[in-house]
Amino acid sequence: MKRETTPKWSRGPIEAPIWVAALAVMFFILGATGALSSAQAAIIDYAVIAGILALSLNLLMGYAGQISLAQASFLGLGSFVTGFVVSHAGSFGLPLSLLLSVVIGAIIAMVVGLPAMRLRGVYLAIATFAFADAFDNYIFNIQKISGLGSGVTVTRPHIGPFHLKTDATLLAFSLLWLAIVWLLDTRLMSIRYGRALLAIREDEQIASSFGVPVTQEKMRAFLMCGAIAGLAGSLYAYQVQVIVKSSYALQISLFYLIVVVVGGLGSRPGVVVSAALFTLLPYWFTFLKGWDFVIAPALLIITLVRNPGGLPDHLQRLRDARELKRRRETKEDIAGLRPKVVGTERPAATVTEELLRVEGISVTFGGLRAVNDASLEVTTGAAVGLIGPNGAGKSTLFNVISGFEKPRSGRVFFEGRDITLAPAHERSALGISRTFQHVGLVRRATLVDNLMLAQHSRLDYGAIAGLTALGDTRRLEAESRTNALDLLDEIGLADFADLRVEVLSTGQQRLVELACAVASRPRLVLLDEPSAGMSPAAAEHLAEQLARLRTNFSTALLLIEHHIPLVTAVCDTTYVLDAGAVIASGPVRKVIKQPEVVTAYVGEAV
391 binds, among ligand ADP, Mg ion, none (CB under 5 to 8 A by kind): ligand ADP
Site for ligand ADP contains 268 (CB under 6 A): no
Count residues binding ligand ADP (CB under 6 A).
11
State which residue has the least CB distance to Mg ion.
Answer: 395
For Mg ion, which is the closer residue by CB, 83 or 530? 530
Mark the segment that binds Mg ion (CB under 5 A) among 21-29, 290-298, 314-322, 437-445. Answer: 437-445
Q: What is the DSSP string of 394-405?
A: HHHHHHHHHTSS
Choosing from 395, 435, 473, 573, the residue that interacts with Mg ion (CB under 5 A) is 395
| CA neighbours closer than 13 Å in the CB half-sphere of residue 496 | 32
Euclidean distance between CA atoms 454 and 433, whole angstroms: 9
Choosing from 94, 229, 392, 485, the residue that interacts with ligand ADP (CB under 6 A) is 392
339 binds, among Mg ion, ligand ADP, none (CB under 5 to 8 A by kind): none
Mark the segment that binds ligand ADP (CB under 6 A) among 80-88, 118-126, 384-392, 531-539. Answer: 384-392
Q: Quote the least distance from Cβ 542 to Mg ion, whole Å.
A: 17
Q: Crossing angle for the helix pair 250-263 and 38-57, nearest 10 degrees? A: 80
370 binds, among Mg ion, ligand ADP, none (CB under 5 to 8 A by kind): ligand ADP
For ligand ADP, which is the closer residue by CB, 58 or 396? 396
Torsion of CA 494, 500, 503, 506, to 10 degrees: 70
Residue 385, φ and ψ in degrees, nearest 5: -90, 155
3-state secondary structure 474-488: HHHHHHHHHHHHHHH
Q: Quote the least distance from Cβ 395 to ligand ADP, whole Å.
A: 3
Mark the segment that binds ligand ADP (CB under 6 A) among 259-267, 291-299, 389-397, 534-542. Answer: 389-397
Choosing from 66, 146, 395, 435, the residue that interacts with ligand ADP (CB under 6 A) is 395
Q: Is 122 helix (H, G, I), strand (E, B) or coil?
A: helix
Choosing from 7, 194, 393, 466, the residue that interacts with ligand ADP (CB under 6 A) is 393
Choosing from 34, 161, 390, 536, the residue that interacts with ligand ADP (CB under 6 A) is 390
Nearest to 384 by CA among 597, 573, 570, 208: 573
19 binds, among Mg ion, ligand ADP, none (CB under 5 to 8 A by kind): none
Q: What is the DSSP string of 188-234?
A: HTTSHHHHHHHHHHH-HHHHHHTT--HHHHHHHHHHHHHHHHHHHHH
Euclidean distance between CA atoms 606 and 26, whole angstroms: 73
Q: Which residues in the 350-379 window bind ligand ADP by CB under 6 A? A: 365, 368, 370
Q: Which residues in the 500-519 window bind ligand ADP by CB under 6 A? A: none
Euclidean distance between CA atoms 322 and 508, whole angstroms: 17
Nearest to 530 by CA among 576, 499, 496, 567: 567
What residues line the site for ligand ADP (CB under 6 A)? 365, 368, 370, 388, 390-396
